[in-house]
Amino acid sequence: MRYTEEHEWLRVEEDLVVVGITTHAAEQLGDVVFVELPDEGRAVTKDDEVVVIESVKAASDILAPLDGEIVEVNEAIVDEPAKVNEDPEGDAWFFKMKVEDLSALDDLMDAAAYKDFIGD
């Protein structure tokens, strides 16, 4: 897995990149009460706002970590936003995207670098 400074994780599954938020981010947000996901088929550019997430503490935007196309979204977290707190780095992924250049992942943090980044 790779990580962004915005506390997103990315995992490659076949030719797609799965994106979610880290456990650290979920803990900082508190209880998630609302998630709005992007439309499937949407072309995104790195740093576009693609997801709105609201918790009892704050509202946040999740940014596109790479250029690509949203090809699948996780409707389960729209129906049950609390799943984001229960399994943020597993079943509570946000979206899957097709990217033109998987080597762009090399510019992101690995697990050890992310742990250093959050001071864990």
> Selecting from 2.40.50.100, 3.30.300.30, 1.20.1730.10, 2.160.10.10, what CATH number does the domain 2-101 have?
2.40.50.100
What's the confidence (pLDDT) of residue 20?
A: 97
**What is the spatial distance between Cα 107 and Cα 86, in angstroms, rounded to a whole number?**
29
What's the confidence (pLDDT) of residue 85?
A: 95
The 3 state secondary structure assigned to 77-103 is: HHHCCCHHHHCCCCCCCCEEEECCCHH
pLDDT at residue 120 tops 80: no
What's the mean per-residue pLDDT of the chain? 95
Measured at the CA of 108, the angle between CA 104 and CA 113, to 5 degrees, comes to 155
The residues, ordered by sequence, that sit 6+ positions from 18 with a Cβ below 8 Å of its Cβ are 10, 11, 12, 93, 95, 96
The residues, ordered by sequence, that sit 6+ positions from 101 with a Cβ below 8 Å of its Cβ are 67
pLDDT at residue 26 tops 90: yes
pLDDT-derived band at 22 (thresholds 50, 70, 90) equals very high
Predicted model pTM: 0.94
52-108 tens-digit pLDDT: 999 998 899 999 999 999 999 999 999 999 999 999 999 999 999 999 889 999 999
Q: Where would I find the beta strands (DSSP E) of the chain?
A: 2-3, 8-13, 16-21, 32-36, 43-44, 49-55, 59-63, 68-73, 95-98
- Over range 8-32, report the average pLDDT: 95
Instruction: List the chain domain ranges.
Output: 2-101
